[in-house]
Amino acid sequence: MYLHCSAVFLVLSSVVYAQPASPEWQTAYAKANATLAKLSLWDKVWLGTGVGYFFGKCTGSTPGITSINFTGLCLEDSALGVRNVDKTSVFPPGINTAATFNRTLMNLRGIAMGQEFRGKGINVQLGPMMNMMRAPASGRAWEGFGADPYLAGEGAYETVKGVQSVGVQAVAKHFIFNEQEHSRMSSSSNVDDRTTHEVYLHPFLRSIQANVAAVMCSYNQVNGTFACENNSTLNGILKWELGFQGYVMSDWVATHSTGSVTKGLDMTMPGDIFPGSLISFFGLTLDLAVVFGAIKQYYVDNLARRVLASWYLLGQDSGYPAVNFNSKNAGSSDNLHVDVQGNHGSLIRTIGAASTVLLKNTGKTLPLAAPPSIAVIGSGAGPNPSGPNGCVDRSCNQGVLAQGWGSGTADYPYLITPLDAITNRSAVDKTNVTSSLSDSDLNAAAAAAKNKSIAFVFITADSGEAQYTVEGNAGDRNDLLAWHGGDALVQAVAAVNNNTIVVVNTVGPVILEAWIDNPNVTGLVWSGLPGQEAGNGLVDVLYGVYNPSGRLPYTIGKSIGDYPAQIDTTSSLSTVQIPYAEGIFIDYRHFDASNITPRFEFGFGLSYTTFDYSSLSISGSISSNQYSTGMGSSLDAMLHNPAITVSFSLRNSGSTFGHEVAQLYLTLPSSANSAPYILRGFDSIPLEPGQSKTVTFTLSRYDLSTWNVVTQRWEVPNGDIVVTIGASSRDRRLRGTISN
């Protein structure tokens, strides 16, 4: 059963903008309506039309309207920092942010990014990205928050709240089902209604709960209709069902018709039909379509109202700084080189450490305690020979891998390599450091590692946007193996050193089976993509300055075939059909339902201390009003009214301060036909040795519900619901029941 709208929506299709529910939106809409009355049709049209690919200083720009002191909008990539501009920071991307399982750090990162965008005079940050890691080889999945909708939703919510707290508009992208790079402009993602609601829609819902100003629609088709002119998804679900009050912009050159304005699109980017065409589907074309009666003026009024409301919502009508750069021309006099980094390097280092996942630590090899000698092996430990920004949009895998490639990147102000950070720390401890930075010279690697106290081997796996092909990978990865013969490099070192620790910098899962059980591989440190402080954040974990608390935001399987979905590499002159046949069973849900043993499960990560769980308590009851239509205030109430409170005691039973990431999973009644375990709560709890805390999670009726495709509403299934508390999706410490 594919997407469809309720009869109510079909009848009310001409009133897809409802009265805003929140006070903030109500105030913004009151101002927008007052301003709208002062504008001509021409003005209104251009509120939703970019100035063109080659014009403006920003990734995207809209023109100003002097009569209302509207200076136009500057829209700029990316979701991890300001793209193509100097004196800004490279933050860890979404995937590492998710690995912290720490809402505070998610929010602080959003605030810091917002400060940098505002400092450059940017109105709109083109992020966060929240598409799901449906297929582990997905090229841009590292920009998002992993493979679980609840975790991705919390990452999206906290990021949006952070970015918008300083007056910058955030953009939830890419709406919707943009989960691979191959054929992204010529494919149809075919997805059923339940899967849509329970998996892929949730992060966007949480963004709307955070008052996100804008949503970007994606390149792909959804069930045969382009996402940027899909009435069912844009008007039916996003604006009507979820009550989204902001504006919908197209991805760049993802608009396909002037009529898309009637299907829910409010802004076309970058404005021209194709770069340099000087003709737009909106602009003059839309103006004339209204004048000659082909399109009702209501739709233009609606787009203008939405754009203005978002502008007012963030207070950008008063005192907003002017654009002080030109991202399209590095040599332009418009580039004033304003330094907006502040002290953000410290936060980046903290997130880098907090997102590092310790996966193996035989014999407590880590943390290090002034070892006599260290070998550092692999190109991933060192610098890019061409400089940290030597490859356009980071479209190469040379040196330490701290972000993927494509439009989701930013220029490094500096990049701390692991080799430099280890060398600096080793000087304090008087540890001898030897290195071999070749991935292919296995003899040199073995020689450097032989007889050393510790041998660190750095391996990588990269991916990014489809506009670049890197080492034969056209955006999406070709497989889940380490690049540059990483398996052979580990094996060569482990053959001569019985204390080999592998450090993985990667965009997603990597198959480890060639060496993970080798007894000489005593440690595995999953560094992910840590941003500009890569080496320092890693060393903080290696030496115990930061007790590792990162947890996997996806499952690491034993083979690529363990995963339920793969990249569809079909090449066709017609539309490539991509069925989401796995439904709601992505990542760990599939592993659990199919009884597949992973190498490392979702939510897993080790610590230098231990934690005890006890005293589970479940209170509250499920209201007799067990369903919601999913529309407007009804859904809002269902999300925010807690039904169940779950409490338990958590104790640090070890000798070291650390954070434990406690996780709550639900098992719904069999009648729900759901996954065996579904994440519905988490927290990162700091504890001193011997300290105990009572941890409390609250569950709303929405958390307990599934989407009924027949009744088109959220319903709590009949039967008992099992609550599991533990340290990962498979490390289950406490169990209780919600009676229903």
**Tokens linked to 214:** 């804008």
343: which residues sit within 8 A by CB, 6+ positions away?
none
CB neighbour burial string for 655-682, b if at least 16 within 10 angstroms, e if fewer: eeebbbbbbbbbbbbeebebbbbbbbbb
User: What distance in Å separates the CA atoms of residue 677 and residue 680, rounded to the nearest whole number?
Assistant: 9
Mutual angle of helices 534-542 and 344-354, in 10-degree steps: 50
Question: Reduced to 3 states, what is the DSSP secondary structure of residue 506?
Answer: strand
Q: Are 9 and 231 in contact (CB under 8 A)?
A: no
**Tokens linked to 163:** 């970015």
Residue of 219, 203, 202 lying closest to 129 (CA atoms): 203
User: What distance in Å separates the CA atoms of residue 497 and residue 518, rounded to the nearest whole number?
Assistant: 11
The residues that bridge with 682 in the sheet, in sequence order, are 663
Q: What is the dihedral of CA 160, 162, 166, 169, to 10 degrees?
A: -10
Q: Note if 429 is an active site residue.
A: no
To which residue do tokens 């533990």 refer?
726
Kindly report the backbone phi and psi dihedral angles of residue 562, in degrees, each rounded to the nearest multiple of 5, phi listed first: -70, -20
Cβ-based burial of 372 (10 A; exposed 0-12, middle 13-18, buried ≥19): exposed
**Tokens linked to 266:** 């409010």
Dihedral sign for Cα 592, 476, 680, 106, please: positive
Query: DSSP per residue over 55-116, as a string?
Result: SSSSSEE---BGGGTB---EEE--SSS-TT-SS------HHHHHHTT-HHHHHHHHHHHHHH
User: What distance in Å separates the CA atoms of residue 513 and residue 341, rounded to the nearest whole number?
Assistant: 41
Q: Are 344 and 539 in contact (CB under 8 A)?
A: no
Query: 43, 77, 193, 251: which one is catalytic?
Result: 251
To which residue do tokens 């400060």 refer?
115
What residues are annotated to the active site?
251
